Homo-oligomer: A and B are copies of this chain.
Amino acid sequence: MASIKPSVPKGTRDFSPVEMVKRNYIFDTIKSVFRKYGYQQIETPTMEKLETLTGKYGEEGDKLIFKILNTGDFVTDGKIDSSNFNPDYKKLTPLISGKALRYDLTVPFARYVVQHQNEITFPFKRFQVQPVWRADRPQRGRYREFYQCDADVVGSDSLLNEAEFVLIYDEALSKLGLKDFTIKINNRKILSGIAELINRGDNIIDLTVAIDKLDKIGLDGVTKELLERGFTEADIEKIKPVILLQGTNAEKLQSLREALAESAAGLKGCDEIETVFTYLQSCPLQTATLELDITLARGLNYYTGAIFEVKTNEAAMGSIGGGGRYDDLTGMFGLKGLTGVGISFGADRIYDVLEELNLFPTTANQTTKVLICNFDKEGETYGLPLLQQLRRQNVNAELYPAGAKIKKQLDYANNKNIPYTVVIGGDEIASGLLTFKDMSSGVQEKLTVDEIVERMVR
């Protein structure tokens, strides 16, 4: 028998009842907004075939995929024996493993779309909230198992989708109680335009990696980095006005149009951004500040149009959401020409922000509302019909399942955050007036069964 306390694998977590209520609150809020905008939920298996995942996340990503050992005699099935045993684990892996844990929700979604293309009505607006697994080195805020919370639409190039994602961010985060956050938007074509401006289309990644750091290292730092990366003083002089773009979104857009006048791609990017802004004029945001930020790049190789990122201004925290448009999601599985755009909510970070700002609601319908305390068989028998009546009225209720000391029963209520208790002792049974206690105020009253039910239902 184990004498050491058991534990969970490194980088994974148990979620306690209190944490689950809070997590469900976040997920339910986001899901309800996804549904309001016409997104439909799907789920894909935890395991995918190794061939589905391999090569989709780059060499580094492939290393971080959790592989599943084939079941049964994987040595014989893999035709491995002492004579041909190859100690290179990369060679050995495909012989003994054919499945792996989902690494993100995007690749399984692409696989889903291709596999079910004949059953799907396009445009296909789907959301998916499931865990993913990555063998990253665990650290504060980074786990090996964590939930992703994604919405994507494929098969529609309308920029209304982009506008609606801005609205979804605004509505969901407003609902969660955030009062000051920024949705940053950029467009890959604007970044291409900037690179074209200096005839460095091939070096767009070097360029964007450098200007992405403007916030942190300032213009001098960016200049230094660009020089190191092979850009000339003349290049830098030419793009400086673009990097230092100032003013309202409309002013920035106007300056960009002037600066990128020579670039067809750049102007296309400006047009797209402007169309999104126009949509949003008829659908004003509740809380969010929308900011055109041309330093925003995020997984640049992936995105082909809009790029989004969301940051809260109330807490020190990285981005709490991001996404963008990609023109060839399903090409990796042989289905070409399907455009898509999607966003993701960073649920773990949102959890930390709500915790820090004390924004989790104190009342939740996910916990017990009233505990009936009793001291003996007689009290229990007296309490059962009350328990039944409460539950019949859809009140979450419990009867303490033993005639324990009152302190123990009230501790139980406090530890479970049960807001009300009813005490049934000999006096209460004799008078028919039960002791009803509001656990947060400490106020006690003598009430009949009917009065208690009435109080709990309203």
Which positions in A face B, CB cutoff 8 Å? 1-9, 12-17, 20-21, 24, 35-38, 40-49, 51-52, 63-64, 66-69, 71-76, 80-82, 85, 87-89, 92-93, 96-99, 101, 111-112, 114-116, 119, 121, 123, 125-126, 131, 133, 135, 144-145, 153, 156, 158, 160-161, 171, 279, 282-283, 331-334, 365-368, 371, 380-381, 384-385, 387-388, 391, 394-399, 401-402, 411-412, 415-416
Contact = CB atoms under 8 A, between A and B. Distances in A.
Contact of A46 (B48, B87, B133): B133
A9 B73 contact: no
A366 B35 CA distance: 6
A365 B439 CA distance: 35
Given A64-B71, A75-B89, A401 B123 contact: yes
8 contacts: A4-B334, A8-B111, A37-B391, A38-B368, A47-B144, A47-B145, A69-B69, A156-B401
Given A6-B49, A17-B126, A67-B68, 12 more contacts: A6-B114, A13-B45, A14-B45, A14-B112, A15-B42, A20-B41, A47-B66, A73-B89, A85-B85, A123-B412, A156-B401, A158-B401
Contacts of A17: 40-42, 126
Given A14-B115, A35-B367, A75 B97 contact: no
Contacts of A402: 123, 156, 158
Nearest to A417: B40
Classify the secondary structure of A's interface with B: mixed
As for how many copies of this chain the complex holds, the number is: 2
A87 B96 contact: no
Contacts of A40: 17, 20-21, 366-367, 416
A300 to B, nearest CB: 22
A141 to B, nearest CB: 17
A49 B98 CA distance: 21
Given A14-B42, A333-B6, A96 B69 contact: yes
A243 B158 CA distance: 70
Nearest to A415: B121
A364 to B, nearest CB: 10
A97 B116 contact: no
Contact of A115 (B6, B15, B89): B6
B44 A46 contact: no
Nearest to A153: B401
A94 to B, nearest CB: 11
B97 A46 contact: no
Nearest to A84: B82
Contacts of A161: 401
Contacts of A119: 16
A117 to B, nearest CB: 9
A99 B3 contact: no
A396 to B, nearest CB: 5
